[in-house]
Structure 1
């Protein structure tokens, strides 16, 4: 990722996730994103690690439509942090890459660490870093939808 650090150093602690540089840059470029990408990227909960709608720790469940102009990427909650799943629909897809750490993993990239949405000549790029690889999609725009799960009924 260009701005989000998934291996920051804070004092003596290394390997810290730090979206601060990205969030600062996002405030400058968010107007260049189409409405769906802008809404998802600038949502106050997106990078708030204590929020139930923070993408950190979601698990990549499915990638549908790879190689087509419309794709869906589905992320599964974990009940200790999230009470909703996340579905992202991409339109006008012009690029798609899965870069697993281990070639035999396919789309099993482990839990999400963080993501980054940036303006691009074709619309935007959405890079999603996971513990075991990265998923990158170039598209015209995206629509993120959170849906309730069995965890939603827990207090």
Structure 2
């Protein structure tokens, strides 16, 4: 895999992770996103903090396939907010990075703060900011699926 300088690719939106600014630009960039990324990014519930399908406060459960061109990122619900888990599949991954303060705990990044999906020359870039680090994936497209789950006091 090759490192991609996202700031050089997508301009001043990359790395900002400012929800108001991103949402104000989303309508103008959504047409440049691949179909799966566009559907996920423009879902009305995605950035509605009171929605059960808002990514905020999900917890990273697992990253599968790192180092290959197929990647799955699994997020676990929080019972007080969500009633489903989230699975995102990325095919044709050209870049994957984890920016974590503690490299030994690279998949223990804490809860999601927010994410941005931006057009990229390779399709799209998906930056997911968590309390303790950030995941960035570049790929031709992604598929996000909310899956049934059962809440318990142990979740």
- Measured against the shorter chain, the TM-score band is 0.7 to 0.9
Q: Cα offset for 1:3?
A: 4.2
Q: Say if 1:28 and 1:3 are closer, same or farther in 2 by CA, change over 3 A.
A: farther
Partner of 1:64 in structure 2?
A: 64
Look up the SS of the partner of 2:21 in the other structure. helix
- The aligned residue for residue 2 of structure 1 is 15
- Residues 22-57 of structure 1: CA deviation (Å, up to 9, x unaligned): 011111010001110000000000000000000000
**Preserved CA contact (<8 Å) 2:17 2:129:** no
2:35 & 2:101 partners in 1: Cα distance? 32
3-state secondary structure, aligned to 2:151:
helix
* Compared CA separation, residues 94 and 64, structure 1 to 2 (3 A): same
Structure with more of its chain in strand, by fraction: 1
CA offsets 1:66-106 (integer angstroms, 9 cap, x no match): 11111100000010000000000001100000111223322
Give 1:12's aligned residue.
none
RMSD of aligned alpha carbons:
1.3
TM-score, structure 2 normalization: 0.86
Q: CA deviation at 1:151?
A: 3.0
The equivalent residue for 1:124 is: 124
1-structure distance, mates of 2:109, 2:15: 20
Total equivalences in the alignment: 139
- Report if the CA contact (8 A) 1:118-1:124 is conserved: yes
Say if 2:133 is the partner of 1:133.
yes
Cα separation, 2, equivalents of 1:25 and 1:45: 17
Provide the C-alpha distance between the structure 2 equivalents of 1:37 and 1:63, rounded to a whole number of angstroms.
18
Gaps of 5+ in 2: 1-13
| CA offsets 1:99-132 (integer angstroms, 9 cap, x no match) | 1122332211010000000000000000000000
